[in-house]
Structure 1
């Protein structure tokens, strides 16, 4: 897969760091100990500010302005539009409106520090910048674990944050559990709450960003709920046939495909969908992490079949596309949520949830 990591010409390094693990595509910095937020900013090459400056264009040909001055290719300020510029190299990162409020890189890290009340409670694991530095991302590990079964199947708790300086998208913070044995991102939202907080880059964004207890509340509530749910699923038996049905429903892309499944007209299904289902089912049946007591023939394994397929099998255009799909509300996250909802219903109702034989 390709990468879109920013190369910082000032330092001669890629803007990315990782703790102990191999850096992204062998690029960036590997550090042995978890850094403080101030150290992480430097390791990741994020020690620059973004400046909001007036935007100008040039007059075309000769003309007379309202005040009577002659316009002969001179600069004209574009009203209510501004350029966001990196302070260290004057690169234009994007064009924004008058209400856009910059959230500096160090403020994003301060948000993490505030989550648990002090800088010692959170472990910065990766951070970096994409493109010209217009998008940054941070992953940080929270204290504690989600333990399934006898405690050997462990899921770590992370918060992921991404923000942009180009005017596209919101500041996004998400609670993201990751199953250690296979690095599955077990994205799931309860029907009563989301695992994501989105904050617009408008007036008041800094104040809302500082309201970090909301994200910590999500992390605490979801981690406790998910530990109970996953442990129940690890005791619910499911046949291989029903695993495949669950995968088909979770990956179903549209109503037409759903109707074909319901009618049993599998020969009419697209080859793309059929092959995707077969690949996910093969992962469910053969992956080492699917042979554990918590997953083999168990509903927890059926859920992991979908999340693990996207994390470990599915090919993406590049790492940024994978990040978008799995963590930032893309297709993979939507399919994982569908699988979570199906498993929730299966645990209550069994095969009654499946509309086809």
Structure 2
């Protein structure tokens, strides 16, 4: 899998920082202590600013009087549209409208500055930029304590912030639990709650970032509730056929698959769907991380198998594709569906066939 980290040719470095241990790609800067925001920005290669600049095109041109075969073109300014440009490399990050408001990298970090290193014990752990010119940045901040399942299974708690300078994405601040044993990123939010705040790039974006401090309160509430739910699921035994059935329901990609499953026509299921289900089932049955008392053969382990497949098994073309899948796309929706199915199973001893 490609890493898709931004490579700055001026500095000869990849735009990535992690604390104490390198990421799987082995790139970027590894530091031995938790940094301040100012240090993290430099270590991650995010110490650049972005400018909105006028956007121009050219007309069809007219022949040069002295050289008729040569056309002379005149610039035409494109109204109400601008190019977002990195001031250090002059890389064009994207095209935006007149109402788009840039949130500089330093301002994105400032969301955490009131929390990081304070009494809450929140610490920067990773940061970086993705894309050829570094159009998308991300920051993870580790929260204190854990979600504890049973005696030995711990889930770390993080706040994750990402924003893009290409005009295509909003500012997102998410609560992301990560299971220590297998590093699965779990993205289920409990019913009637949210684990992600999205903020548009408008003139009021700075003020809304300040309001987003409520994410910490949401995180604390989610942590308590998730811990209770996961511990209940760790005591619910589930048979192998029911594990496979729940996985099938969680992985339904479209109406055709739904109708075939509903009618019991497994021979009509696509090879791609059956292969995915098989991979998730193998993860649930044989992966070393599923050997814990709290996971293998339990409803909690079944849920972890779906989330773990998208984090640790499925292949993606690059890191950004993987992130988008886990946070907002197929990986997130499948994990959420699995979460809802597990709720039904814990309550009723079975799960309803629903279209994902």
Q: In which range does the TM-score fall when normalised by the shorter chain?
A: over 0.9
Shift of 1:54: 1.9
Shift of 1:118: 4.0
CA contact (8 A) 2:126 2:139 kept: yes
Task: Say if 1:120 and 1:38 are closer, same or farther in 2 by CA, change over 3 A.
Answer: farther
Task: Say if 1:24 and 1:44 are closer, same or farther in 2 by CA, change over 3 A.
Answer: farther
Count residues with an aligned counterpart: 346
Written as runs of structure 1 = structure 2, the 5 A alignment for 1:278-293 is 278-293=278-293
CA contact (8 A) 2:280 2:306 kept: yes
Written as runs of structure 1 = structure 2, the 5 A alignment for 1:142-157 is 142-150=143-151, 152-157=152-157
Partner of 1:304: 304
SS in 2 for 1:225: helix
Written as runs of structure 1 = structure 2, the 5 A alignment for 1:157-306 is 157-306=157-306
SS in 1 for 2:342: helix
In the superposition, the TM-score normalised over structure 2's length comes to: 0.92
In the superposition, the TM-score normalised over structure 1's length comes to: 0.92
After the TM superposition, which of the residue ranges 296-305 and 175-184 deviates more from structure 2? Answer: 296-305
Written as runs of structure 1 = structure 2, the 5 A alignment for 1:53-72 is 53-62=53-62
Q: Deviations over 1:112-141 (max 9, x none)?
A: 223569497321111111120111111111
SS in 2 for 1:185: coil
What runs of 5+ residues in structure 1 fail to find an aligned partner?
64-71
Shift of 1:57: 2.6
CA contact (8 A) 1:171 1:200 kept: yes
CA contact (8 A) 2:175 2:219 kept: yes
CA contact (8 A) 1:245 1:354 kept: no
Partner of 2:82: 82
Counterparts of 2:122 and 2:235 in 1: how far apart (Å)? 32
SS in 2 for 1:184: coil
Q: CA RMSD in A?
A: 2.0
Counterparts of 1:156 and 1:292 in 2: how far apart (Å)? 17
Partner of 2:67: none
Counterparts of 1:289 and 1:3 in 2: how far apart (Å)? 24
Q: Deviations over 1:13-40 (max 9, x none)?
A: 1111111222352211111111111100
Q: Deviations over 1:143-165 (max 9, x none)?
A: 12100012x10000011111111
Q: Deviations over 1:200-239 (max 9, x none)?
A: 1112111101213221122111111101100111111111
Shift of 1:312: 1.4
Counterparts of 1:284 and 1:138 in 2: how far apart (Å)? 30
SS in 2 for 1:25: coil
CA contact (8 A) 2:237 2:299 kept: yes
Counterparts of 2:288 and 2:23 in 1: how far apart (Å)? 25
CA contact (8 A) 2:48 2:105 kept: yes
What runs of 5+ residues in structure 2 fail to find an aligned partner?
64-71
Task: Say if 1:202 and 1:354 are closer, same or farther in 2 by CA, change over 3 A.
Answer: closer
Counterparts of 1:212 and 1:198 in 2: how far apart (Å)? 9
SS in 1 for 2:106: helix
Partner of 1:343: 342
